[in-house]
Structure 1
C-alpha cells in the first residue's frame, strides 16, 4: 500500500479550504434542520416503554453531530476516529447504520435514510464544482494506493470523463455521517473499493490509513524459493523465467528497524485487501527482475554509461530504464507495481549494481566536462 502524496502543504490547504467552503457549518446545520423531521417517525416503531428514552438519545445524537460538524467534514483521521469512538460508546444502540432495523420491520430506519440525505455523498459525486472529479484531479493519484496494481488517474474532457472510485475508509453504511468527510475519501480502484475491501471494518487502530502511512520500507515483498527437505537452495532460472508457480512464492518480511505497530497494521491491510492473493499473477514480472539481477552485472551497467554518455545523467535514470519502474520511495505511486519492483530489486541486489560507486564518478566527470 502506498501513502497518498500530500507533501505539498499549500496544495493540501487549498483542497481542505474548498471542501470546508462547500460544506460550511451553517450549510450543514441548515441541512440538518431541513431533513431531520422524518427522523422522529422512528420513535413510534419502538415499544411504548422505550420511546421517551429513545427520543432523548436521538436528540443527543443529532446534537452531537451538529457540534462536531466541522471535524466531521475536514477533521484528520485521528479526529474521525475520536468521533467514531464517542458514537460507539454513547449511541451504539441507535439504528443509524444501513443494516439496522427496528423490531420486525424490514425497512431501513429513518435515522439512517436522513443521515444519507444530510451528508449527500451522491450529490458530491455529481457536483460540477468541488466534487468527486475535482477532488481526485487535485489529489493527482495515478495508482490505487491500496493495491498498487491498477491505474486510477482522472481524465476530464469532451471525449472522456473518468476518475478513481472513492472508497470510504470508514464504511459509509456503518457511519453515514462520515460519507463526505475529506479524510474518509480514498481514491482507489474498483476492485479494492467494491469487491475486496467493500464494507469491511477498517479503523486507524486496525489498519494503515493511506493519508497517514504506506508500507514504504516497513514491510517488504520477498521472494522465497521452494525446495524439498534436505535440498540446497539452487535457483533454476529456466523455471523462474517461465514463472513456474512451484519455483517460488511472493511473500512479505518486516523491517527489523521499523515500528512494530505499523508493521502489525500493515499485515492487517495485506490480509484484508488480499494482497498475497492478487499478487500471485505478477510472478512473471518478478521472474524478469530476478533475471535482470543476473544479466545486469557491474561491467554491463558501466558499459551502458560509457556507450551512451549523453543518455544518462544520474543513477536513478538507469535504474528506472533497466527495471521499467521507479525505485525511490518518493516516487512510489507514479507507476503500477513500483513497490514490488523496488523490493525485489533490492532483495537480489540489482539496485546495488545499478548504483555501484564508480557510476557516481562517471556522472561527476560527465558533469564537469559539460561545464
Structure 2
C-alpha cells in the first residue's frame, strides 16, 4: 500500500463540486421556471451548468445534512464512525425517533444518486477526482497503472476505480466522502478487497499512515533449487496491524504470480552472472560525463522510483526496491 498524503488541493476542489451537487439535488437548478433553485457563482461549474433535478421526498434529510456537509465530505477516516454515530443520535433526538428516514436519505442521496449515478455518470466526477489526485499506480498493490485519459470532447475513456474504505453498502453516509475514496485498480477493488470490512484501528490507511511503505519489506524465498517465491522479510516479527492489512489486501497473493517474472529477472541478474554484476550495473552503467543520482539510475535501469513519495509513479517500485536491496546484501 502507498501513502496518499492529505491531498488538500484535491480535497477543496472536490468539496466545492460535491456541495453544488447536493444543493442542486435539494433545490433543483436555479432558472426561470425554478427561481428558488440553486446555482453557484462559478460560470464554468461542472455541476451548476447542468440541468439537474431535485431529489423528491427527502426534505427533512437535506435540511438536516447540508449544514453538516463539509464535515461529512472532509472527515478524516479515523473520525468517520464517531461522526456517523453523532449524526444518528442528533437525528434521533431532534428530528425523528426513527432512523429509517435517515438511513434512506443516506442511501438514496449519497450512495445511489450520488456515487452510483452522478459520480460515475457520462460526465463523471471520478475522472476529475482521479486527475486531481494524480496517482499513477494502484494505491493498494502498486502493480498496475491507473492513468486517466479522456476521449475527444471530454468523453469517458479510462480511469481508476475508487474503493470505499468503509463499504458504501453498510456506511452509505460516506459514499462520497473524500478520504473514503481510494484510487485503485479493478483487481484490488473488485476482487481482492471488494466489500471487506476494514477499520482504522486494526488496519493501515493510505490517508493516515505515513510510514506504510517502510513498515514491511518484500523478500524472496527459495521453493526449489531453481524456483523462488515472494514473501515478507521477518514476517514473524511484523506488527499485527501491518500483517492484518497485508493479509486483508491479499498482497502476497496478488504478487505470487510475479515470482516467475519480475522476481526471476532480478534474481537472474544476481545469480547467473558475476557476484558483483548487480552492483556494477548500478555503479558503472552510467559513467563518464554523465552525473546521475541513485534515483535516476534505478529509474533508467529497473524502471522504478526509490522515493516513497514517488513510488506511485512506477509499477513495482516498492517490490523491486526491496528485492534489489536484498540481493545486494548477498555475499
TM-score, length-scaled by structure 2: 0.73
What CA distance in whole angstroms lies between the structure 2 residues aligned with 1:123 and 1:112? 20
- Of residues 266, 269, 280 in structure 2, which corresponds to 1:292? 269
Alignment deviations for residues 108-147 of structure 1 (CA, whole Å, 9 cap, x no partner): x77545423322112122274x811111011111100111
Q: Which is helix-richer, 1 or 2?
A: 1
> What is the Cα deviation at residue 169 of structure 1?
0.9
What CA distance in whole angstroms lies between the structure 1 residues aligned with 2:314 and 2:66? 41
> What is the Cα deviation at residue 276 of structure 1?
1.2
Matched, 1:165 2:161: yes
Match of 2:234, SS state, is strand
What CA distance in whole angstroms lies between the structure 2 residues aligned with 1:32 and 1:112? 20
Q: CA 1:95 to 1:141, structure 2 compared with 1: closer, same or farther past 3 Å?
A: farther
What CA distance in whole angstroms lies between the structure 2 residues aligned with 1:133 and 1:187? 11
Structure 1 counterpart of 2:118: 123
What CA distance in whole angstroms lies between the structure 2 residues aligned with 1:25 and 1:287? 52
What CA distance in whole angstroms lies between the structure 2 residues aligned with 1:300 and 1:22? 50
Structure 2 counterpart of 1:188: 184
**Equivalent pair of 2:167/2:195 in contact (CA under 8 Å):** yes
Alignment deviations for residues 225-279 of structure 1 (CA, whole Å, 9 cap, x no partner): 347xxxxxxxx4xx1xxxx3xx4442343697xxx8xx43222221111111111
> What is the Cα deviation at residue 13 of structure 1?
3.5
Matched, 1:13 2:8: yes
Alignment deviations for residues 277-320 of structure 1 (CA, whole Å, 9 cap, x no partner): 111101021122123235425455544244xx244522222233
Matched, 1:137 2:126: no
Output the aligned Cα RMSD: 3.7
Structure 2 counterpart of 1:277: 253
Q: CA 1:127 to 1:26, structure 2 compared with 1: closer, same or farther past 3 Å?
A: closer
Count how many residue pairs are aligned between Structure 1 and Structure 2.
290
Alignment deviations for residues 330-365 of structure 1 (CA, whole Å, 9 cap, x no partner): 321111111110111111227x99xxxxxxxxxxxx
**Equivalent pair of 1:326/1:335 in contact (CA under 8 Å):** yes
Q: CA 1:141 to 1:66, structure 2 compared with 1: closer, same or farther past 3 Å?
A: same
What pairs with 1:223-262 in structure 2 (closer than 5 Å)?
223-226=220-223, 236=225, 239=226, 244=227, 247-253=228-234
- Of residues 180, 202, 222 in structure 2, which corresponds to 1:206? 202
Structure 2 counterpart of 1:152: 146
**Equivalent pair of 2:10/2:132 in contact (CA under 8 Å):** yes
**Equivalent pair of 1:327/1:338 in contact (CA under 8 Å):** yes
> What is the Cα deviation at residue 64 of structure 1?
6.9
**Equivalent pair of 2:166/2:197 in contact (CA under 8 Å):** yes
What CA distance in whole angstroms lies between the structure 2 residues aligned with 1:183 and 1:300? 41
Q: Which has the larger radius of gyration?
A: 1
Task: Give 5+ residue unaligned stretches, structure 2.
Answer: 29-53
Task: Give 5+ residue unaligned stretches, structure 1.
Answer: 7-11, 40-58, 97-108, 228-235, 354-371
**Equivalent pair of 1:224/1:248 in contact (CA under 8 Å):** yes
What CA distance in whole angstroms lies between the structure 1 residues aligned with 2:327 and 2:280? 17
Alignment deviations for residues 144-169 of structure 1 (CA, whole Å, 9 cap, x no partner): 01111121111113186111011111
What CA distance in whole angstroms lies between the structure 2 residues aligned with 1:278 and 1:75? 31
What CA distance in whole angstroms lies between the structure 1 residues aligned with 2:217 and 2:290? 31
Q: CA 1:123 to 1:26, structure 2 compared with 1: closer, same or farther past 3 Å?
A: closer
